[in-house]
Amino acid sequence: MDTIKHRTVEVNGIKMHVAEKGEGPVVLFLHGFPELWYSWRHQILGLSSLGYRTIAPDLRGYGDTEAPGSVTSYTCFHLVGDVIALIDSLGVEKVFVVGHDWGAIIGWYLCLFRPDRVKAYVCLSVPFRPFLGRDPKIKTVDGFRAACGDDFYICRFQMESEFARVDTAYLFKNILTTRLTEAPIFPKGEYGNGFNPNPQETLPSWLSEQDIAYYVSKFENTGFTGAINYYRNLNINWELTAPWTGVGISNVPVKFIIGSVDLVYNFPGVKEYIHNGGFKKDVPNLEEVVVQNGVAHFNNQEAAEDVNNHIYQFINKF
C-alpha cells in the first residue's frame, strides 16, 4: 500500500484526490457507495503489477475530494464531467474503465455520453437498463425505488440523521459484510432492516479492522451528504437524459461481473434482464457475463483475486 501514490487534480471545478500506481495503459477505477479509492486497493496492486497504470479517484463528495454544497451539483453530467476532466489530465485519449455500484452507473453514463474515451468497460454489480432510463418516481419494483422512492427516507429527507444513529464503524461493518439479498429499507424515523440486520461478530477474511478504520476516518471527517446526494439526483438524471431514451451502449466492449448473492442480482427482474436477452439487446458488445457463486455485493473486495483475473483477461485482449 505504501507504493501507491496520491495526488490532487483540478477537474471540472473541484479538487479531486487520486490514488495511482504503475505504468502502461490506463485502467480507471470508479468506486461506489459508501466507498472510496481504497475499495480498489487490491486491483491497484494487482493490475499495476501486470503492466497497467491504475488510477482510482475519490469521486465527487467522497473522501479527500471536494464536496460541493449544492444537491444539484451531483447530477450524472457533473459526475461524468469529472471523469472526462480526469482522463484529460492523464494525457491519454482512451482508458479502460472498471466501475462498481455507483461507479458502475457512472461508467454506463460515460459509455453512453463519451464512448470515444473508453477502450473497454468492466462493470461490477450494476447492469445497464434497470438503473438508467427509468423514471424512479414510478411505483415499480426496480431496487432503487425500495431505497429511494417517495415512501422512504434516503432521497427526500435527511438520511444522514439515520446513519448518525449508529456507530460509524458498525455501519461500515454492517454494509460491507451484508449477505442481504433484498433492497435495504430505511423508513423515516427508524433504522429499518438497514443493509445487514444480522451482522457477524467477526469480520470475514477479506476485510480487516484496519480497512474499516480507514473508511471510518474519512467518513467521520466528511459525513455522508455528498455520497447521498447521488441518490437525490435520480429523478433529475432521468429528466436530463431524456434525449437518450431507448439508446443503448453500442460502441464499447463490455464485460459484466456480479455475485450470486449480490442484492442487485436478486432484485426482481434483474436476473431475467441479464440472462434472457435484455442486457445483450441494450449492450450489443456485451462479451461476457460472470456470476461469482456465493459472492455478495462488494465483489471487488470479497473476491479480489478472481475479479483481478477477470479484468486482466478481458482488457489484455485490446
Cα distance between residue 109 and residue 164, in whole Å = 31
Distances (CA, A) of 124 to 67, 157, 158, 163, 202: 25, 29, 28, 25, 26
Q: Give catalytic status of residue 78 as yes or no.
A: no
At which residue does the C-alpha cell 427508524 appear? 190
Per the CB < 8 A criterion, the answer to whether 266 and 181 are in contact is yes
Q: Give catalytic status of residue 312 as yes or no.
A: no
Of 101, 142, 262, 282, the active-site residue reads: 101
Of 78, 100, 297, 310, the active-site residue reads: 297
212's enclosing H/E stretch is helix 209-222
Give the 3-state secondary structure of residue 6.
Answer: strand
Give the 3-state secondary structure of residue 9.
Answer: strand
27's enclosing H/E stretch is strand 26-30
- CA dihedral of residues 166, 169, 175, 180 (deg, nearest 10): -70
Give the 3-state secondary structure of residue 146.
Answer: helix
Angle at CA of residue 146, ends 152 and 289, nearest 5°: 150
Q: Give catalytic status of residue 297 as yes or no.
A: yes
Strand partners, 121: 97, 254
Cα distance between residue 56 and residue 48, in whole Å = 12
Of 121, 231, 265, 273, the active-site residue reads: 231
Would you please indicate which residues are annotated as catalytic (active-site) residues? 101, 231, 297
